Structure 1
């Protein structure tokens, strides 16, 4: 069921001001613009619907572009009755959101953590999904090669060890800084970002502890990926560190079809070059 809207679909207000959609007992912030086939953007960890503002403006020139904040993310209050933060909760919410918005079947665009959310939903409810474009999915349940698992484990310790340390000290802003520096692959990456992008990450600093302690995500195997009934493209950066590239390459091997290696890019490519990211998304959608 949809709650009261601040601005209607496709109007000037809807391009700037989010409305709130009632989904499985939570009010999720949602912004959309444009007309036509629905294209739904799902953000990564530590972010919310605002990271897609530039992308929504571009894609909204061609399609009905929708971005929403997944449960627990954004600036809204949390409810103790909610299910725990995690992939299954977010996959259930995605399914309910598509129905509430009358947006199925939708093209889905996901980054990082949200990749596993989309894959889970695509396996359980393929009828609601027209296609999925996933940039660097973040859950390695289908990585089985011993050498890749070793490289992945070593890099996870290097990247997330400092994040865990900051959380244990209660320094959530520091946890954000080291997480984004690690994703951008250089010290000072977070500090170099525009103030509005820093603000989105800092507003979501409270999500880092439950993200690090979330329930086990749905176990998706390579065979499951091979059985997907919707078109899926996996894209990943040529220069991305093993935490992201190992998982992406494994997913690309398992899923039939064309996949993209983005020259000169790292994990932060969707934010660093919104125009190029949207061009890749639109190219994928136009082929469906």
Structure 2
């Protein structure tokens, strides 16, 4: 393992500046705040570790809060000969990062696409994970009900059709805008966000073709989720569209234990209300 400082992305309120950590041949940007039990935050699509700055400041008051940019995300250079962007690659990197940071067993906090990454790691290496809170996992391999599959397919076509179209035209920043508008469930959602949050998404626009052409993710089944050896909380928004809510409800039915339905929330709740999201994270940790 090698580490080096990463210039230009210091966190708020005196947070330690992120550093590069070598993981499986890639140098991943990692930010930390606080001491104690490790809590590792995994971002979703078109994002990176910077989206968790506010969350690290809050959770870092009580725990060792860690956020990192998954391979291909962030502003760093892409390496030659890397494995393809996808859940398999990111789950392998997560396992290696936990070992490199001596951060296992860790509490995982994952959003959207990263939910399948966290679940894959929890199934393959439960000894490295103390618990996980997953907000609206993004891979529907455990959805089997025909009516739910139909509703999911219709909504995914409506949401991602324009995203695919923008990528095919080479309009990657437009693809990000459409993706965020769809996730926020209103036209103009992206344009209404603070400039610093828009910048994070646009910095990751280059990942959009890779995200839309990634290898098939691990086929995690409902039986796999039922057999998890670590406590997992599935959380989802009361108002989230079927693309996210159908998958979340299916996961919650499969995973033993209590789960969280957030009143009035959509898929963007972790970003829109960092304080409430962190309160839910802390409650899930305290319940373990």
Q: TM-score when scaled to structure 1?
A: 0.97
In structure 2, distance between residues paired with 1:82 and 1:15: 30
Deviates more, 1:22-31 or 1:72-81: 72-81
In structure 2, distance between residues paired with 1:270 and 1:203: 19
In structure 1, distance between residues paired with 2:287 and 2:148: 32
Q: Give CA-to-partner distance per residue, 1:185-219, whole Å, 9 cap, x none.
A: 00000000000000000000000100000000000
- Equivalent residues of 2:131, 2:231 under 8 A apart: yes
Partner of 2:190: 190
In structure 2, distance between residues paired with 1:2 and 1:44: 26
Partner of 2:171: 171
In structure 2, distance between residues paired with 1:231 and 1:187: 37
- The alignment status of 1:239 with 2:231, answered yes or no, reads no
In structure 2, distance between residues paired with 1:13 and 1:57: 7
Matched residue count? 285
Q: 1:2: how far off?
A: 3.3
Q: 1:4: how far off?
A: 2.8
Q: 1:77: how far off?
A: 0.6
Q: Give CA-to-partner distance per residue, 1:129-173, whole Å, 9 cap, x none.
A: 000000000000000000000000000000000000000111011
Partner of 2:205: 205
User: What secondary structure, in the 3-state scheme, does the structure 2 residue paired with 1:4 have?
Assistant: strand
In structure 1, distance between residues paired with 2:162 and 2:105: 41
Note closer, same or farther for the CA distance 1:12–1:234 as it changes in structure 2 (3 Å cut): closer
Partner of 2:63: 63
Q: 1:78: how far off?
A: 0.6
- Equivalent residues of 1:14, 1:33 under 8 A apart: no
User: What secondary structure, in the 3-state scheme, does the structure 2 residue paired with 1:17 have?
Assistant: coil
- The alignment status of 1:93 with 2:93, answered yes or no, reads yes
* Runs of 4+ with >6 A deviation: 11-14
State the Cα RMSD in Å.
1.4
Q: How does 1:1-288 map to 2 (within 5 A)?
A: 1-5=1-5, 15-288=15-288
User: What secondary structure, in the 3-state scheme, does the structure 2 residue paired with 1:258 have?
Assistant: coil
Residue ranges of structure 2 left out of the alignment (5+ in a row): none
User: What secondary structure, in the 3-state scheme, does the structure 1 residue paired with 2:156 have?
Assistant: helix
- Equivalent residues of 1:20, 1:30 under 8 A apart: yes
Note closer, same or farther for the CA distance 1:13–1:190 as it changes in structure 2 (3 Å cut): closer
- Equivalent residues of 1:235, 1:259 under 8 A apart: yes
In structure 2, distance between residues paired with 1:142 and 1:59: 31
Note closer, same or farther for the CA distance 1:132–1:114 as it changes in structure 2 (3 Å cut): same
Residue ranges of structure 1 left out of the alignment (5+ in a row): none
User: What secondary structure, in the 3-state scheme, does the structure 2 residue paired with 1:191 have?
Assistant: helix
- Equivalent residues of 2:12, 2:53 under 8 A apart: no
Note closer, same or farther for the CA distance 1:6–1:178 as it changes in structure 2 (3 Å cut): closer
Q: 1:17: how far off?
A: 1.7
- Equivalent residues of 1:2, 1:101 under 8 A apart: no
Note closer, same or farther for the CA distance 1:264–1:13 as it changes in structure 2 (3 Å cut): closer
Note closer, same or farther for the CA distance 1:193–1:37 as it changes in structure 2 (3 Å cut): same
